């Protein structure tokens, strides 16, 4: 069984880790705390920075090829670069403000430069990146995505059919067109790869976080109630989980002298002592097939036989009682005082179910619970007092010491026994 404590402290499933400087760069201007919005805005930032890189590459190559003849294009590239750098700072004006501004910049700018340099330059291929628009808005904002995609498609059709093949600037420079065509192909390939990689990395990170959260929630539900009950609760098939149990074995164990020993001790020391002891009891409960119900102050409550044989459950609970008594004997002292353990067990009818809404819990009620509590409260330190019913259900697998008739509050005179050990002549 996965323990919630161990799950919290263990290493979580790791997602793809990007360099810190890249994480900071992609988060520029983002003020939202909604994880989905943040992911979309980071993709928008990546697209803006890719635009900057693409523009710089064209600026450099165009300047080397013909600085004076392409001055208008140089000015365009500088304007595009500065505008793209400012895109991330528009996130504060709305979750889609930067994305819309970037789309207007890209569609308008690319339409302009294709008309300036002509369709022979191949620069219209940048319109094919419009499919990435969905990454900016997300499927939940499809009403923004569709008009944007239509606008990009319209701009592409417009330039393909009406833009001059050789453009308006340096129309006779075919070497320039050939160079731009190859550069546009390479840049489009790189931008596509970067966008897909970052989007998938963000998706992988989100999936890893969801998997970690799911594992924590599963462990938490399983930690506060039996796994079978947890599965019924999560299925949602039952409006109310309530079971009647014919014969349930119930145990209560209470620390003797704890209140006096813990008086005026630092809270850290008290909690540490109880935590170590309860964790030991929890481990033993798991080993013996016993279900822990809860701790009430310094009292521990457990049951057995809820779904299986009453006899098997009673025997498992008896073995568990002997095990915790042995563990208590070897536990450290609290403030130099060695505490005792008082245990009571009874078998009887009970009702089990899940109650509550905000802090729901699995619990049991009925005769078995009330009588087991009385068995514990009327027991003796370091002794396991059991009812006659428990003695009858388990048979001869344990050794008992008869206590005789005991005046039990709320019950009256009752025959009780002390469980002293396992009967080695009979295999459990």
> What does the pLDDT look like over 2-17, one tens digit per residue?
555 655 555 555 556 6
Band the pLDDT of 114: cuts 50, 70, 90: very high
CATH superfamily, with its number, for domain 227-422: Nucleotide cyclase, GGDEF domain (3.30.70.1230)
Q: What is the mean pLDDT of residues 181-192?
A: 92
| The token pair that represents 390 in the structure block | 């428990």
Asked if residue 51 has pLDDT above 70, the reply is: yes
Among 324, 320, 328, 329, CA closest to 390: 320
Q: How far is the C-alpha of 152 from the C-alpha of 93, rounded, in Å?
A: 24
Q: Indicate whether 383 pLDDT > 80.
A: yes
Q: At what angle do helices 71-86 and 97-117 cross, to 10 degrees?
A: 170
As a whole number, mean pLDDT of residues 75-91 equals 95
142-174 pLDDT, tens digit per residue, is: 888 899 989 999 999 999 999 999 999 999 999
Q: Where are the domains of the chain?
A: 4-217, 227-422
* Higher-pLDDT residue of 287, 204: 287
User: How many residues are listed for the chain in this entry?
Assistant: 428
Asked if residue 67 lies in contact with residue 74, where contact means CB atoms within 8 angstroms, the answer is yes
Given a cut of 80, is residue 126 above it in pLDDT? yes
- In angstroms, the CA 321 to CA 79 distance is 80
For residue 294, pLDDT beyond 80: yes
| Greatest CA separation for the chain | 116
Say whether pLDDT at 427 is over 70. no
Q: Tell me which residue of 278, 275, 290, 344 sits closest to 320, measured CA to CA.
A: 290
Q: What is the mean pLDDT of the chain?
A: 87
- CA-atom Rg of the chain in angstroms: 37
pLDDT, residue 428, reads 54
Please report which confidence band the pLDDT of residue 221 belongs to, taking 50, 70 and 90 as the band edges: confident
Q: How many CB atoms lie within 10 A of CB 95?
A: 20
Contact 113, 159 (CB under 8 A): no
Q: Can you give the pLDDT at residue 98? A: 93
The pLDDT of residue 419: 95
Q: In this structure, are residues 47 and 132 in contact, taking their beta carbons and an 8 Å threshold?
A: yes
Q: What pLDDT, on a 0 to 100 scale, did the predictor assign at position 12?
A: 54
Average of per-residue pLDDT across 178-192: 92
Instruction: Scan for tokens 């809270």, then name that residue.
Output: 267
Predicted confidence at residue 367, as pLDDT, reads: 87
Query: 220: pLDDT confidence band, cut at 50, 70 and 90?
Result: confident
Q: What is the pLDDT of residue 241?
A: 81
Output the pLDDT for position 55: 95
> Does residue 237 surpass a pLDDT of 90?
no
Residue 210 — very low, low, confident or very high, per pLDDT cuts 50/70/90? confident
Neighbours of 378 (CB within 10 A): 18
Q: What are the tens digits of pLDDT across the range 328-349?
A: 988 888 877 888 999 999 999 9
Cα–Cα distance measured from residue 283 to residue 325, given in angstroms and rounded to the nearest whole number: 14
% the chain with pLDDT above 90: 56
């Amino acid at each position: 069984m996965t323990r919630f404590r161990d799950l919290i402290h263990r290493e979580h499933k790791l997602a793809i880790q990007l360099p810190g400087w890249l994480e900071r760069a992609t988060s520029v201007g983002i003020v939202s705390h909604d994880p989905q919005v943040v992911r979309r805005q980071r993709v928008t930032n990546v697209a803006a920075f890719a635009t900057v890189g693409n523009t710089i590459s064209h600026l450099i190559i165009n300047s080397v090829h013909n600085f004076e003849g392409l001055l208008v294009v140089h000015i365009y590239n500088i304007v595009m670069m500065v505008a793209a750098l400012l895109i991330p700072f528009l996130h504060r004006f709305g979750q889609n403000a930067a994305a819309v501004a970037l789309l207007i910049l890209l569609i308008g700018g690319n339409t302009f430069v294709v008309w300036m340099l002509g369709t022979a330059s191949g620069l219209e291929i940048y319109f094919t990146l419009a499919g990435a628009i969905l990454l900016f808005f997300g499927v939940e904002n499809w009403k923004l995505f569709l008009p944007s995609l239509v606008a990009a498609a319209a701009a592409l059709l417009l330039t393909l059919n009406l833009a001059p093949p050789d453009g308006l600037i340096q129309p006779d420079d075919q070497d320039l067109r050939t160079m731009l065509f190859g550069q546009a192909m390479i840049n489009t390939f790189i931008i596509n790869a970067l966008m897909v990689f970052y989007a998938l990395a963000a998706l992988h990170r989100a999936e890893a976080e969801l998997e970690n959260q799911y594992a924590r929630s599963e462990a938490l539900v399983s930690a506060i109630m039996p796994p079978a009950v947890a599965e019924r609760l999560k299925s949602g098939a039952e409006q109310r989980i309530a079971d009647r149990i014919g014969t349930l074995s119930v145990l209560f164990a209470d620390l003797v002298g704890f209140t006096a020993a813990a008086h005026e001790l630092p809270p850290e020391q008290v909690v540490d002592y109880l935590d170590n002891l309860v964790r030991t009891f929890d481990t033993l409960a798991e080993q013996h097939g016993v279900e822990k119900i809860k701790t009430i102050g310094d009292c521990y409550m457990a049951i057995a036989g809820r779904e299986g044989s009453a006899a098997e459950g009673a025997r498992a609970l008896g073995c568990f009682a002997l095990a915790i008594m042995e563990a208590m004997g070897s536990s450290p002292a609290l403030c130099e005082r060695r505490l005792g353990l008082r245990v009571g067990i009874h078998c009887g009818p009970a009702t089990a179910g899940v109650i509550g809404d905000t802090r729901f819990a699995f619990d049991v009620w009925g005769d078995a619970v009330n009588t087991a509590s009385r068995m514990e409260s009327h027991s003796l330190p370091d002794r396991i007092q059991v009812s006659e019913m428990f003695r009858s259900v388990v048979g001869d697998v344990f050794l008992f010491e008869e206590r005789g008739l005991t005046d039990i509050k709320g019950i009256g005179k009752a025959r009780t026994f002390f469980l002293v050990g396992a009967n080695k002549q009979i295999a459990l």
